[in-house]
Amino acid sequence: MPLRILAVYGTRREGMKLAPVVEALRADADFEVKVCSTSRQGALAQDLADVFDLRPDWDLDLWHEGDDLYRAVAGVIEGLRDVLREARPDWVIIQGDTTSAFASALGAFYAGAKIAHVGGGLRTGDMADPFPEEGHRTMATRLASLHLAATARARAALKAEGIHPGKVEVTGSPIVDTLRKALALEAPLDADLAAWTEGRKLAVLTVRRSDRLGAGAAGVAEAIRALHDREAALRWALVLRRDHAPSDILRA
- 180-225: per-residue pLDDT in tens? 888 888 777 778 877 888 888 888 888 766 556 666 778 888 888 8
What pLDDT is attached to residue 74? Answer: 94
38-42, 147-151, 187-191, 235-239: lowest mean pLDDT where?
38-42
Q: Read off the pLDDT of residues 43-91 as tens digits, 9 standing for 90 and up.
A: 666 777 777 778 899 999 887 666 799 999 999 999 999 999 999 999 9
Higher pLDDT, residue 190 or 108: 108
3-state SS, the chain, equals CCEEEEEEECCHHHHHHHHHHHHHHHCCCCEEEEEEECCCCCHHHHHHHHHHCCCCCEECCCCCCCCCHHHHHHHHHHHHHHHHHHHCCCEEEEECCCHHHHHHHHHHHHHCCEEEEECCCCCCCCCCCCCCHHHHHHHHHHHCCEEEECCHHHHHHHHHCCCCHHHEEECCCCHHHHHHHHHHCCCCCCHHHHHHHCCCCEEEEECCCHHHCCCHHHHHHHHHHHHHHHCCCCEEEEECCCCCCCCHHHHC
Q: Read off the pLDDT of residues 121-180 as tens digits, 9 standing for 90 and up.
A: 999 999 998 899 999 999 999 999 999 999 999 999 999 999 999 999 999 999 999 888
pLDDT band at 244 (very low <50, low <70, confident <90, very high): low
CATH architecture of the region 3-174: 3-Layer(aba) Sandwich (3.40)
What pLDDT is attached to residue 48? Answer: 77
pLDDT band at 27 (very low <50, low <70, confident <90, very high): very high
What pLDDT is attached to residue 231? Answer: 87
What pLDDT is attached to residue 85? Answer: 98
What pLDDT is attached to residue 142? Answer: 98
Higher pLDDT, residue 169 or 252: 169
What pLDDT is attached to residue 204? Answer: 84
Domain limits, CATH 3.40.50.2000, in the chain: 3-174
